[in-house]
Amino acid sequence: MQRLAYPIFALIFAGIFIPQFINSPSIDLTALYVAGYAAASGMPEAIYAVHPEFLNPEAPAVLEALKAEIGLVGHQTVPYIYPPLWAWLIAPLTQAVSHATFVKAALVMHIGMLIAAVGLSWRIVRPHGLKFEHWVIVGFVILATSAPAYQAMFQNQPQITTLFLVLLAFERYRSGAFATAGAILAIAAAFKLSPLFLVLIFLLERNLRATVSFVLVGALLGLSSLALAGFQAHFDFLALLGRIDGLTILDKTNYAPELLIFQLSGLLTGNDPSNWNMAQATTWPEPFWLSTLMGAMMLAALAALILMRPRLVPGTAVPVLLMGFSLATALFGPISWAHYFVLPLLMLPTFFHVVSPRSAWKVIAVTLVLQSFPAYIVYFKLSSAFYVTTLMGVLCYLGLLVVLVGAVLRAVRFEPEVPLHYR
Q: What is the pLDDT of residues 143-167, one digit of tens each?
A: 999 999 999 999 999 999 999 999 9
Q: Is 310 exposed, middle or buried (0-12, 13-18, 19+ CB in 10 A)?
A: exposed
State mean pLDDT over 358-385. 90
Q: Is 305 exposed, middle or buried (0-12, 13-18, 19+ CB in 10 A)?
A: buried
Neighbours of 82 (CB within 10 A): 20
pLDDT in tens, 107-146: 999 999 999 999 999 999 988 888 898 999 999 999 999 9
Assess whether pLDDT exceeds 50 at residue 419.
no
Separation CA 397–CA 148 (nearest Å): 12
Report the sign of the C-alpha dihedral through residues 118, 337, 50, 225, in that order: negative
Q: In this predicted structure, what is the pLDDT of residue 420?
A: 40
Label residue 423 by pLDDT band (50, 70, 90): very low
Report, as an integer, the average pLDDT of 232-250: 87
Predicted pLDDT of residue 413:
45
Confidence of residue 266 (pLDDT cuts 50, 70, 90): confident
User: What is the C-alpha radius of gyration for the chain, rounded to an integer number of angstroms?
Assistant: 21
In angstroms, rounded to a whole number, what is the distance separating the alpha carbons of residues 334 and 331?
Answer: 9
Closest to 255 in 3D by CA, of 335, 324, 323: 335
pLDDT classification of 55: cutoffs 50, 70, 90: low
Residue 422 clears pLDDT 80, i.e. is over it: no
Confidence (pLDDT) at 367 = 96
Q: Helices 147-154 and 99-125 meet at what angle, rounded to 10?
A: 150
54 HSE (CA, 13 A, CB side): 19
Spatial separation of the C-alpha atoms in residues 255 and 262, rounded to whole Å: 13
Give the pLDDT of residue 311.
Answer: 79
* DSSP 8-state symbol, 337: B
Q: Which of 2-6, 155-159, 180-184, 255-259 is predicted least confidently?
A: 2-6
Could you tell me which residues are beta bridge partners of residue 372? 146
Distance CA 388, CA 384 (A): 8
> Among 161-170, 245-254, 258-267, 408-417, where is mean pLDDT lowest?
408-417
Residue 7 has pLDDT above 60, yes or no: yes
User: CA-to-CA distance for 86 and 217, rounded, in angstroms?
Assistant: 16
Asked if 268 and 385 count as a contact pair (C-beta separation under 8 A), the reply is: no
Q: Are 214 and 26 in contact (CB under 8 A)?
A: no
Beta carbons within 8 Å of 78's beta carbon, 6+ residues apart: 27, 28, 31, 55
CA 278/CA 387 separation, integer angstroms: 8
- Between CA 400 and CA 410, with CA 405 as vertex, the angle to 5 degrees is 125
Q: For residue 398, is pLDDT > 70?
A: yes
Instruction: Give the per-residue pLDDT at 109.
Output: 97
The confidence band for 417, taking pLDDT boundaries of 50, 70 and 90, is: very low
DSSP 372: B
